[in-house]
Structure 1
Amino acid sequence: MTPAHDRLPLPPRTYQRAFTPTPHSLRDVRRTVREYLDRWGLGDLTPEACLVVTELLSNVHKHAGGKEGAQCTLALREMPGGVEIVVSDSSSTLPEIKEPELYSDSGRGLALILHVARRLEIVPTDTGKDIRVVLISVPSEGPAAEQELPSQKQVGAAPGVSELLH
């Protein structure tokens, strides 16, 4: 029999990559996200994770200097029943979550992310900001499927930046 101290939980599996986001790099990033989620047994989160990564990296390219070659970091961290996605960039400008204008060509990304995410957190850092998104896999059957999930989505950031939404 294995002693209890030999059966400690494994640390979460992670992936991290620093790069300059471009429209052409997004396809490769989505492929990598899919591969890691499949490897971690979270393939059912692939559509949502790819949407989140595409929206966040597109925002870096458009708003945080991606056009000038600014780098960002994408991190994935496996968590029980889900994945945390973190995009870090060097811009201190925090995105606003607002209702997009009906005929606007942009402004829907964070609203789409809120629709699929369990948690969205915008965190100012000494070097810019982190945007953290948690996606949870909802089992289709078994005891875990019978657990009640929170009805509210949490949106967090520095005080005064955002508040709990429902």
Structure 2
Amino acid sequence: MLPFEAVPTVVRDLRRVVRGQLDRWGLLALADEAALVTSELATNVIKHVGSGAAATLVLEVAEDRLRIELHDQSFHVPVLGSTTCDDECGRGLSLLAGMAVDWGTLLTATGKAVWCELSVAPAPHCRKVRRAESVLTEYRRDAGAQPLLRWRADRMLEESAADLIADLLHWVDARGGDPDGLLDRAQMHYEADISPERMAEVA
């Protein structure tokens, strides 16, 4: 737990603190991701709460996750919105959502905490699954779909996956490409990525 004053010059110090703590915990492999998340959270405090605001960084390891929390004294809850390639701001939460296993905002007695959790030992397969979930969630939002309900999230995202694949095939076809060839290449990439044990289950 590290209280600090949210000013631009402290962001580099926070990254150094995070790296040092993860090194002591034997989690240096997560240092780059954790430092980037911390930078984004601290920068959001500076931009949206104000330079010089009092804040606190909290790091915690529980089971297979590293939890990063950034507490500040504002009750204004950040909202994840859509961004375009030309947007200069608003990417922090999108980046956070794409990298984290889970994230959210918690109101406290004195303000709020924005938190995220990183997998302590993420396998490449898990990273790809999380990345796909992030893309599918954004795809649903762009399509004007209703927000995901937790108990139906997997089924709804699976339906969105089929729609997204169909859209990608239309995109390839419109450019004179080979949709069947694309599917074959995607299948080869998928089979090359999964373990022999998992391959046997799929077969």
Query: Which TM-score tier does this pair reach, normalised by the shorter chain?
Result: 0.7 to 0.9
Structure 1 residues 66-121: Cα deviation after superposition (integer angstroms, max 9, x where no partner)? x2x21000000122233110101011110010111332210000100111101101
Residue 27 (structure 1) aligned to one of 12, 36, 44: 12
- What letter matches 1:48 in structure 2? E
Residue 48 of structure 1, CA deviation: 1.0
- What letter matches 1:17 in structure 2? L
Q: Does 1:36 align with 2:17?
A: no
Structure 1 residues 35-77: Cα deviation after superposition (integer angstroms, max 9, x where no partner)? 1111111111111101110000000011012x2x210000001
Residue 129 (structure 1) aligned to one of 87, 98, 112: 112
* Structure 2 segments unaligned to the other structure (5+ residues): 135-147, 158-203
CA distance in 1, matches of 2:23, 2:116: 18
CA distance in 2, matches of 1:102, 1:139: 28
Residue 138 of structure 1, CA deviation: 2.8
Residue 63 (structure 1) aligned to one of 33, 38, 48: 48
Q: Does 1:54 align with 2:39?
A: yes
| Structure with the larger helix share | 2
Alignment of 1:33-112 (within 5 A): 33-65=18-50, 67=51, 69-112=52-95
| Structure with the larger strand share | 1
Find runs of 4+ consecutive structure 1 residues off by over 6 angstroms: none
Report if the CA contact (8 A) 1:85-1:134 is conserved: yes
CA distance in 2, matches of 1:24, 1:163: 40
Higher-Rg structure is 2
CA distance in 2, matches of 1:32, 1:138: 21
Which structure ranks higher in relative contact order (CA pairs < 8 Å, sequence separation ≥ 6)? 1
Number of the residue aligned with 1:17: 2
Aligned partner of residue 127 in structure 1, secondary structure: coil
Identity of aligned residues (%): 35
TM-score (norm. length: structure 1): 0.72
TM-score (norm. length: structure 2): 0.60
- What letter matches 2:18 in structure 1? V
Report if the CA contact (8 A) 1:42-1:82 is conserved: no
* Structure 1 segments unaligned to the other structure (5+ residues): 1-15, 154-161
CA distance in 2, matches of 1:58, 1:21: 8
